[in-house]
Amino acid sequence: MIIEPKIRGFICTTAHPTGCATNVQRQIDHVVIKGPIPSERKRVLVLGCSTGYGLASRIVTTFGSGADTVGVSFEREPGETKPASAGWYNNRAFENRARAAGSKAVTIEGDAFSNEVKAQTIEAIKETLGQVDLIVYSLASPVRTDPKDGVTYRSAIKPYGTQVTSKTLNTGTGEVSEVTVEPATEEEAAATVKVMGGEDWELWIEALSEAGVLAEDFASLNYTYLGSELTWPIYHKGTLGKAKADLDRAAAAIRAKHGDNAAHVVALKAVVTQASSAIPVVPLYGTLLIKVEDEMGLGEGPIHQIDRLFRDKLQGTIVLDDNNRIRVDDWELSDAMQAELKKRWAVLNTENLAALADLPKYREEFMRLFGFAVGGVDYSKDVDPRVVD
């Protein structure tokens, strides 16, 4: 069949197997070309392994440090005439290439919040790795069912305490306008913490520990985004910020139980994701950031960030901020970049968007998440949606 992108709101409902596989290969190439990354952590569990920072982490640890991995993600399988999710294609493309390179790669697909998937993952670790010495937590979901009581919680990306009015962007039409977002209720804020906070991270560490599959000197990393002051009203100071603060609480609790190196939150830069595209204000900031960081020669996607994390930030003595976080958002939040972003934000409108920001590249990066807009791929070619190169 010929697979074309189908966009519905902030979601692309199709994915291209060849485009996804090509994306995976190009990320692998980036790591391999830069050379080996010294690491004694060769047995890695990646929770949320199929896209973005999670996929990049699996690629970097495997092709940079020669690690064996178990990955967990929630995906949609393909049918004879229906494409799979992009993550399903990414997982297969990664597995094919990792095994060809001599590394073990096992993927568990299901609800990572559930006790059942935790149990399946533990069995896969026992059979494949024995134990894990690094856990990367990169799950992103708007919904979580608490395995303790079966209650389902839904996150609400809203301001906290007061309504917020700010600029926003319609990525389809290119129109810059103002949006007013009402504050979250206390129930919505609490639900967002349940979904996106640190509770599930703690449950994973507890389950792995009780099963005896944690190496004695294990480390775990949980990825977060703090962001620019331009997005703080809707993000850092909103319900998302409360959830992200709960990650710091969870990290401290894990360290208190398992040692100083057992858990760290890693602050990463803003990149184009399906989830972030649905948050008011954030896509406009993203189009501006892409333009400014390219002009400054500091553009980074997920693979560049994670390569820099493992190649630079995790080598030798690890530098932490005042909240015990590892910072890889340093380029984005540098004084020079933020000053330029704020200057442009103040005057940004529909008429000057093309001059001050880069909407075409933002759209292109969004499409590449699903295997489209990838150079060198013949999208007119008939493909079997069940097969990945």
Rounded Cα distance between 385 and 226, Å, is 37
Q: Residues near 327 by Cβ (< 8 Å), separated by ≥ 6?
A: 266, 267, 313, 319, 321
Task: Check if 53 is active-site.
Answer: no
End-to-end, the C-alpha distance of the chain in Å comes to 16
Q: Could you list the beta-strand ranges (E) of 48-204.
A: 68-73, 105-109, 132-137, 143-145, 152-154, 164-170, 175-181
Measuring CA to CA, which residue among 96, 130, 108, 88 is closest to residue 46?
108
User: Which amino acid is it at 45?
Assistant: L
Rounded Cα distance between 271 and 285, Å, is 10
Rounded Cα distance between 38 and 359, Å, is 38
Taking only Cα atoms into account, the Rg of the chain, rounded to an integer number of angstroms, comes to 20
User: Which is it for the CA torsion 193, 272, 50, 263, positive or negative?
Assistant: negative
Count, residues in the chain: 389
Q: Residues near 172 by Cβ (< 8 Å), separated by ≥ 6?
A: 7
* Cα dihedral 328→50→281→180 (10° resolution): -130
Q: Could you write out the DSSP letters of every residue in 183-212?
A: PPPHHHHHHHHHHHSSHHHHHHHHHHHHTT
Pairing of strands 7-8, 11-12: antiparallel
- H or E, element range at 25: helix 17-34
Q: Which of 235, 285, 362, 379 is catalytic?
A: 235
Measuring CA to CA, which residue among 89, 14, 104 is closest to residue 58?
104
Rounded Cα distance between 293 and 308, Å, is 16
Measuring CA to CA, which residue among 200, 227, 168, 210 is closest to residue 348?
168
Which residues have a catalytic role annotated? Answer: 235
